[in-house]
Amino acid sequence: MADGITTSGITIGLDLGDRQTAGCVLDATGQVLTRWQVRTTRSGLQAAVAPWPGARVILEVGPQSPWVSRGLTAAGYAVVVANARRVRLIAESDAKSDRLDAEGLARLGRVDPALLAPIQHRREQTQRALGVIKARASLVRMRTLGINHVRGVAKALGHRLPACAAEAFPTRVRAHAAGPALPGIEELLAVLEQLTVSIRASARTLATLARTRYPVTELLQQVPGVRPLTALTDVLTLEDPTRFPRSRTVGASLGLRPRRRESGAQRPELSITKAGDALLRRYLVTAAQYILGPFGPDTDLRRRGLLLAGRGGKGAKKRAGVAVARKLAVLLHRLWLTGEVYDPVGYQTQVARAA
C-alpha cells in the first residue's frame, strides 16, 4: 500500500532511456496516480516502483529492457516487454515525449497486454553466451568490409584480385599486387590477418561451449549443413523449446514466413516478414544454401528445395532457399524436443505417420 492506495490493478509504464527513464502509474480505473523521471539504474528504478509491489510493469523492448525486465521480475513485478512492432501508436504519435510514451505504454498494457505481443527476454547466462556469438559475427563483418575495401582500391588502380577464401586473402593480395602497386594496403592486410586469428579463436571457444554446456546441439548437427555455430545459435536464441506449442510455428517466429496482405481476390506475393532474430535467420539461410548447393547430400530438404527452385520464375532459387531455411528451423526444433535420430531421407514421412 502507498499513500492509502492499494496496489491491486496498478499498471506502470516505463519509457526507458540510456540515461533517464520516464514512468507513469495508473490505477485500476485508468487514472494517472503519479509521474516521475529517474536515472536508468538498478537502484533508481527499484526505488521508483517500490511503492507499488506486485504491479504490472509495461516497457518497450530495447537495449536496456533485458536487464530491467529481469530485475523487476525477480522483485515480484508482472513485467510485460512490448514488441516494438505493436506500439506504432506511440512511435508515430504527433505529440511524442518520454512522459507521454510512458503513459501510452501503461494504458495499452492496462487494457490487454496481449495487444503488445509480449517478448520474453533470455536468462542472463544465455545472454552472455549469445554475446560471444555476436562478437564473432562482428569480427566477420569487419573482415568482410576490409576485404571489400581492398578490392575496391585495387579495381580503381587497374588490378583485378583473384577470388579466394577470406582466410587466404592477404597472402593472395601480396602475391598478386605487392609493394607500391596498392599503396597503404599493407597495414589493412595485417589487420585482416589479426581478425582471422580472432575469428578462429572465437570459433574454438564456441565449439567448446556447445560441447560442454549445450550438448543438445549435437542432436541438431545430425542435419547436413548444420554446423556447431548454427546449432548453438539456434539453442541460445530459442532457449526454451517448449515456448513453441508446435514446431511449425518456429519458422514464422524467425521471420521466414511471407508477409500477407490479402484483399478480396488479390493475393500479392510479398517478401518474408524478417521478424525475430536476424543472426539466426542468416545462419539458417546459409545452411539452406549449402543443402541446395553442389556439395549438399541427398536429403528430404534438398529434394524439396530443388523442386521449388526448378519451378522457374523470378527469384525461384531465392524463394527455395528461404523455404528450406524455414523447414530447417522446424526440423531443428522437433529434433531438440524429441531427441530423435534424424534420417536424411524419409524422416518427414515418419513424422507424418507418428502424428
Q: Which of 24, 17, 95 is nearest to 56 (CA)?
A: 24
Q: How confident is the model at residue 348 (pLDDT cuts 50, 70, 90)?
A: low
Q: How confident is the model at residue 2 (pLDDT cuts 50, 70, 90)?
A: very low
**What per-residue confidence (pLDDT) applies to 100?**
87
Higher pLDDT residue, 160 or 230?
230
Q: Is 221 left (phi over 0), alpha (psi -120 to 50) or beta?
A: alpha
**What per-residue confidence (pLDDT) applies to 7?**
57
Q: How confident is the model at residue 90 (pLDDT cuts 50, 70, 90)?
A: low
Percent of the chain residues topping a pLDDT of 70: 88
CATH architecture of 11-116: 2-Layer Sandwich (3.30)
Q: Rounded distance, CA 97 to CA 235, Å?
A: 38
Residue 49, C-alpha cell as written in the block: 516502483
Residue 325, C-alpha cell as written in the block: 531455411
Helices 42-49 and 65-74: angle between axes, nearest 10 degrees: 50
